[in-house]
Amino acid sequence: MDVFSSPAFDDHEQVLFFYDRPSGLRAIIALHDTTLGPAVGGCRFWPYADDAEALSDVLRLAKSMTYKAAMADLPFGGGKAVIIGDPKVARSEALFRALGRAVHSMAGAYYTGEDVGTCPADMDWAGTETPYVLGRSQGGSGDPSPVTAHGVLLGIKAAVRHRFGHDDLQGLRVAVQGLGNVGGKLAVALAQEGAQIVVADLDAERAARIAEQIGARHVGSDEIVAVDAEIFAPCALGGVIDDATLTRLSCDIVAGAANNQLREPRHGAALHARGILYAPDYVINAGGLINIAQELRPGGYDRDRALAHVATIEATLTEIFERSEQEGLATHQIADEVALERIAASRQQCEAFSGDLEPARARAMVG
């Protein structure tokens, strides 16, 4: 299994492998870039086909957390953990306590939290071993998904306003892929705004139940990308925009919660070329990160402050859409540029600061 030559490797600072025989924990934690601060990012629990798939996922996810924090104006770097296994059969207190010890061994370089396949109660278990856990159900900010869904709804409105000149969702058709913690809540919120919803989930029973609850139509999970709609909202796993789906998409806007929606950057350029407005994933889905990050502010977690910060997602996306139009570049390229500029500026400040320190220290030594 290649690490440094993996296509997903992007100058990551650290990639750590953890194994705990008693609990069966097999985990990888990747830190991408900690220029802006300690790395923050959730822990995904997924039955990866093999270790290489898990490595590729954690590398990609950690990188997107770096960009997400930078775009959300948070003083944090990007990191992520993955546990290899099936949460339905392998979830246990011992396993999450072992994860907590793994995180603790990183001495604050990385804060973990929930992600696909994990939940706040798992973070409570991990948190018995380390303080570097966010989003606990006891004494933490809890489940971040309602705040993520709220941010995605605001982002969809920003995209609709940019594309159609108004942000009234009444009558707009939205295809929601994935009805988990975020997608389920988003579908309900969209229905409350009067949108016409089509839903799909690998779990067909869940799709049917939510469809009935909100008066939506449900289709098979292989059909949802091709549904004729104004908005396609990917809220399942990553890599959904690829060569195959690009030919099937029938929408004006792609805006949803899933991380790493573009299989490769060139797929973002292809969306742009087709005139489909893409809301860069790590900008529109930053609500969860913004929410858990509030725990680290002086005074601790404050939901109103978190929601006020999440509201900035709308303006950030609008700026990206406008720059994309002015510069003729795809929205994901603009977002990457802005994030990299912010990280570079911070790095320069740090370098200038340590440059100032050197002469001062030298003077102190001779004086």
Catalytic residue numbers read 80
Binding mask 153-192 for ligand NAI (x = CB under 6 A): ------------------------xxxxxxx---------
Which among 187, 169, 152, 148 is positioned nearest to 306, based on CA atoms?
148
Contact call for residue 122 and ligand NAI (CB under 6 A): no
DSSP string for residues in 194-220: T-EEEEE-SSHHHHHHHHHHHT-EE--
The answer to whether the beta carbons of residues 224 and 197 sit under 8 Å apart is no
Is residue 295 a contact residue for ligand NAI (CB under 6 A)? Answer: no
In the bound complex, what is the minimum distance in angstroms from residue 263's beta carbon to ligand NAI? Answer: 13
Nearer to ligand NAI, 244 or 366 (CB): 244
Buried b / exposed e along 18-28 (16+ C-beta atoms within 10 A): bebeebebbbb
Q: Which of 56, 112, 245, 259 binds ligand NAI (CB under 6 A)?
A: 259
Q: With beta carbons less than 8 A apart as the criterion, state whether 325 and 278 touch.
A: no
Instruction: Give the number of residues in contact with ligand NAI, rule: CB under 6 A.
Output: 26
Residue 257 binds to ligand NAI (criterion: CB under 6 A):
yes
Cα 341 from chain centroid?
A: 20
Three-class DSSP category at 130: coil
Residue corresponding to tokens 């099936």: 86
Window of 15-23, 26-34, 95-103, 142-150 that interacts with ligand NAI by CB under 6 A: 142-150
Question: Cβ distance 172 to 195 under 8 Å?
Answer: yes
Q: Is 237 in the site for ligand NAI (CB under 6 A)?
A: yes
**Using CB under 6 A, which of 121, 202, 208, 226 touches ligand NAI?**
202
Instruction: Tell me the C-alpha distance between 162 and 72, whole Å.
Output: 20
Q: Within the chain, where are the H helices?
A: 51-71, 87-90, 93-104, 120-126, 145-164, 181-192, 204-214, 243-246, 265-273, 281-284, 287-293, 303-310, 312-327, 331-366
Task: Report in angstroms how near the CB of residue 118 gets to ligand NAI at its nearest.
Answer: 9
User: For ligand NAI, which is the closer residue by CB, 181 or 333?
Assistant: 181
User: 141 vs 331, which CB is nearer to ligand NAI?
Assistant: 141
Task: Give the position of tokens 């039955």.
Answer: 47
Instruction: Give the contact letters, 57-96, x = binds to ligand NAI (CB under 6 A), - = no.
Output: ----------------------------------------
Using rule CB under 6 A, residue 148 touches ligand NAI = yes
Nearer to ligand NAI, 77 or 178 (CB): 178
- Return the number of the residue (21 or 254) whose C-beta is nearest ligand NAI: 254
**Nearer to ligand NAI by C-beta: 72 or 164?**
72
Q: Which amino acid is located at 146 in the chain? A: P
Name the minimum Å distance from CB 206 to ligand NAI.
6
Kind plus residue range of the DSSP H or E element containing 27: strand 25-33
Q: How far apart are CA 177 and CA 237, in angstroms?
A: 9
Binding site for ligand NAI (CB under 6 A): 115-116, 144-145, 148, 177-183, 200-203, 221, 235-238, 257-259, 285, 288
